[in-house]
Structure 1
Amino acid sequence: MLGSLGDAEDLAQETFLRAWKARDHFEGRASVRTWLYRIATNACLDVLARRPRRVLPDQLGPAGEPDGPIAAADLPWLEPFPDRLLDEAGPDAVVVERETIELAYLAALQHLPPRQRVALVLRDVLGWSAKETAELLETSVASANSALQRARATLRERLPAHRTEWTAGDPTAEETALLKRFIAAYEAGDPQAVAKLLHEDARAVMPPYELWFGSAAAIVRALSLSLDPASPQCIGRFRMRPTRANRQPAVATWLRRPGEAGYRWFGVSLLTIEHGLITGLAAFESVPAAAWDLPEILRE
C-alpha cells in the first residue's frame, strides 16, 4: 500500500494503538481480522491522502549521462522490502508471492488511487473475496469490483510489457550463479566483468539520486568512474553479501571510502534477471542495515 518499510512499521503500530483505543466500540458484527484490517486500511488512506506517491528515478525524467552531475533529491522514494520479514510471518499469514512484491509491481501500484489500491491489494495480494472487500470499503460489491477492474487495467499499462507474465518461486540456480559473478566482479572493481552480465538495455536507478542510466554502456561507464582509484569520482571499494528483497536477488553492500580503514554499510541493490542477464539494477543507499539484520561495520 505505502511503498515504504518505515511507513509500514509506523502504520502497524498506529493500527494497534487505534484498535486499543476503540476496543470498547467493537461490537463483534465482523471478525476481529476484518475489524483490524479496516483500521489499518483507514490509517493507510489517511497517510496517502496527505503525501505524494512514492517513485523511482526512471519515472521522473529521461536517462542521464555518467559524466553528468549527481545530487541527492529529497523525494518520497519507493523502498525495498527484506524477504526475511516476509518469511518470518506466522503459519496463518498469507504467502506473499513474488509477482505481487517485486519492485516493478510496487512501482506500478503507486500510480493507483488509494481506494483502487486497497481493492487490488485485498483481492489480488491477500486473497479476499469480493464481498469481504466491499464490506471493508463500506461499499457495494459492484463498486468494489469496478475499483478492482480499473486497478488491474492501470497495472497492465504501467507494468513493463515483458513482465506481465509473472514467475513465482525460489531463485533459480542460474540466478544464484549470476549473482555470485556480479558480486565477484564488483568487489574486484572490474566494470568490464560486470558488463558481461548486463543486457544491453539494462537500467540502473539509485535513490536518493534522480540520475538513472538506460543502457549497459552507461552503467559500465559510471562504474568505471566510481571504482577506478585514479578517477576523481572514485568512491572506494565494496564488499557484498547475497540477500533477498521483494522476492528478488539482491546484494547487501558495504563501502570503504578512500582514506578509511573499514567497510561501512552502504545499502541494498536489487537485481532483475531475465534470460541469464541483468536487465535492472536498483541501488538503495538510505535503507537501514537493521532491516536486513546486518551489521553497520563489516569486519574483513
Structure 2
Amino acid sequence: MTDARPLDADEATFIAAARSGDTARFALLTERHRRELQVHCYRMLAHYEDAQDMTQETFLRAWNKRESFKGDAALRTWLYRIATNVCLDFLEKRTPVPSGLSDSGSGMRYLQPYPDRMLPEDPQESAVARETIELAFIVAVQHLPPRQRAVFILRDVLGWPASKAADALDSTVASVTSALQRARVTMRGQLPAHRLDWRGPATHELSDDERDVVKAYIDAHERNDLDGLMSLLRDELRFAMLPELGPVLMTAEDAVGGWVSGGLFQPGHDDWRGIATTVNRMPAAALYLRTPADREYRLFAIAVLRVVDGKIADLTGFDATGKPWLALPPTL
C-alpha cells in the first residue's frame, strides 16, 4: 500500500517514535486524527459509543503494529486502514439482529445520534463529515454487508482509488470494484430521493425555516398544543422512535395520536421544556419532562428533524437519558 509521496515530517517523526518506543510522541502524532477516525468508525457502525471504543482500539492496534509502518503510505492512510479492519472485526462479533425485526428495523437498531461538536476540526475533513453524517445516509449505509460498507466508505466517501481500498482490505481491485457497484445499487434503493447524490453536500448551516420549526416544535410541547404540533408535521411523515420503531411512513394525525395513546401529553407526562440543538448536522429538539414527583425537568428524548418547506418531513427520536456525550444539561 503506497501513496506515491515523499516521506514528510510527521511520518519521519512517527517512525522515530515507533522505533524508540516513545509512547508520548506516538500518542501526540496519532491523537490529531482521532475525530476523523471516530467519524469513520461511526459511518461503519452507526453507534457513537461503539465508534469511540473502536477509535481507541485503533490506536492500541496501531501501537502494537507500529513496527509495520515503513512510511510507504501516509500515516493517516495507515490509521484509516487499521480503523476499517477494527470495525470489520467488531461487526463480525456484534450481536445478530433478532429474526423478528424487519429490514428497516434492523438497519436502525444500533443507531445513535452523533454530536456535532465532535466533528473534525480540520476544515477539509469537517466538510467531508458534514456531507456524510446525516441520519438518512448513515441508516442507508447500515443496509450494506460489512465489507461492501467498508468499500463504499473508502471509495465513495473518502475518495480512495480502487487499488488503495483493495490494499486496505487485503482484497483485489476487481473485488473492490464489484462490491462498490453492488453497494451503490443498494444505497440508491435505501436513500430518500433528496439524498440520492451522496457525494454532494447533504447539510448546511441551519436555515431560518429550520430554526423556526424547531422553536415551534418545542413551543407546542411546552403548551401541550397537539393541534399546533400536528400542524408542523407533513401529512406523510417518515417517523422513527429508536430503538423500538422505525422508520415508517405515517400521517401527522397518526403520529400525534400514537404519542398520546402511548401516554405522552397525558397527566404526569405533560410538563415539557426544550432546548434547540443540532446533531448529525441536522436541526434537533432536546426535550425535558418533569413528572409530578420531581422538582426538575429531566432530559427525556432528542428529536432530530428534517424540515422541508417549513414542515417536518422526517422525525427520528432517540432516548437521550444516560448519554453525557450529547453534552446536553441533564436537568433544567
Q: Please, which of 286, 297, 300 is the counterpart of residue 263 of structure 1?
A: 297
Matched-pair contact (CA < 8 Å) for 1:133–1:144:
yes
Q: Please, which of 127, 146, 157 is the counterpart of residue 114 of structure 1?
A: 146
Deviation of the 1:57 alpha carbon: 8.1
The answer to whether residue 261 in structure 2 is matched with residue 218 in structure 1 is no
Q: Which moved more, 1:107-116 or 1:281-290?
A: 281-290
The answer to whether residue 292 in structure 2 is matched with residue 235 in structure 1 is no
Q: Distance in 2 between matches of 1:147 and 1:81?
A: 27
Structure 1 residue aligned with 2:312: 278
The answer to whether residue 76 in structure 2 is matched with residue 33 in structure 1 is yes
Tell me, what secondary structure is at the counterpart of 2:177?
helix
What code does the residue aligned with 1:246 have? Answer: N
The 1:105/1:252 distance shift into structure 2, 3 A limit, reads same
Tell me, what secondary structure is at the counterpart of 1:260?
coil
Higher helix share: 2
The 1:292/1:57 distance shift into structure 2, 3 A limit, reads farther
Paired residues for 1:143-292 under 5 Å: 143-164=175-196, 167-210=202-245, 214-225=250-261, 226-230=263-267, 234-286=268-320, 288-292=322-326
What code does the residue aligned with 2:315 have? Answer: L
The 1:37/1:277 distance shift into structure 2, 3 A limit, reads same
Q: Please, which of 118, 133, 148 is the counterpart of residue 165 of structure 2?
A: 133
Tell me, what secondary structure is at the counterpart of 2:70?
coil
Tell me, what secondary structure is at the counterpart of 2:289?
strand
Structure 2 residue aligned with 1:77: 110
Matched-pair contact (CA < 8 Å) for 1:250–1:271:
yes
Q: Please, which of 67, 83, 93 is the counterpart of residue 24 of structure 1?
A: 67
Structure 1 residue aligned with 2:34: none
The 1:265/1:158 distance shift into structure 2, 3 A limit, reads same
Q: Which moved more, 1:151-160 or 1:282-291?
A: 282-291
Question: What is the CA deviation profile of residues 198-244 of structure 1, one whole-angstrom value per residue up to 9, with x for unaligned ones?
Answer: 111113221232476722111121344534444xxx52422111111
How many residues align structurally?
Answer: 281
What code does the residue aligned with 1:188 have? Answer: R
Tell me, what secondary structure is at the counterpart of 1:93?
helix
The 1:43/1:31 distance shift into structure 2, 3 A limit, reads same
Tell me, what secondary structure is at the counterpart of 1:297?
coil
Structure 2 residue aligned with 1:96: 128
Tell me, which stretches of 5 or more residues in structure 2 are unaligned? 1-43
Structure 2 residue aligned with 1:59: 104
Matched-pair contact (CA < 8 Å) for 1:207–1:284:
yes
Indicate the structure whose relative CO is greater, using CA pairs within 8 Å and at least 6 residues apart: 1
Structure 2 residue aligned with 1:48: 91
The 1:296/1:196 distance shift into structure 2, 3 A limit, reads same
Structure 1 residue aligned with 2:16: none
The 1:162/1:53 distance shift into structure 2, 3 A limit, reads farther
Q: Distance in 1 between matches of 2:265 and 2:270?
A: 8
What code does the residue aligned with 2:145 have? Answer: P
Identity of matched residues, %? 43
Tell me, what secondary structure is at the counterpart of 1:41?
helix
Question: What is the CA deviation profile of residues 48-102 of structure 1, one whole-angstrom value per residue up to 9, with x for unaligned ones?
Answer: 11225789988249xxxxxxxxxxxxx943111111111x523563523544211
Q: Distance in 2 between matches of 1:94 and 1:162?
A: 21
Q: TM-score, normalised by structure 2?
A: 0.76
Matched-pair contact (CA < 8 Å) for 1:57–1:210:
no
Deviation of the 1:295 alpha carbon: 1.6
Tell me, what secondary structure is at the counterpart of 2:113?
coil
Structure 2 residue aligned with 1:66: none
The answer to whether residue 156 in structure 2 is matched with residue 124 in structure 1 is yes
CA-based RMSD: 2.7
Q: Distance in 2 between matches of 1:246 and 1:157?
A: 22
Tell me, what secondary structure is at the counterpart of 1:196?
helix
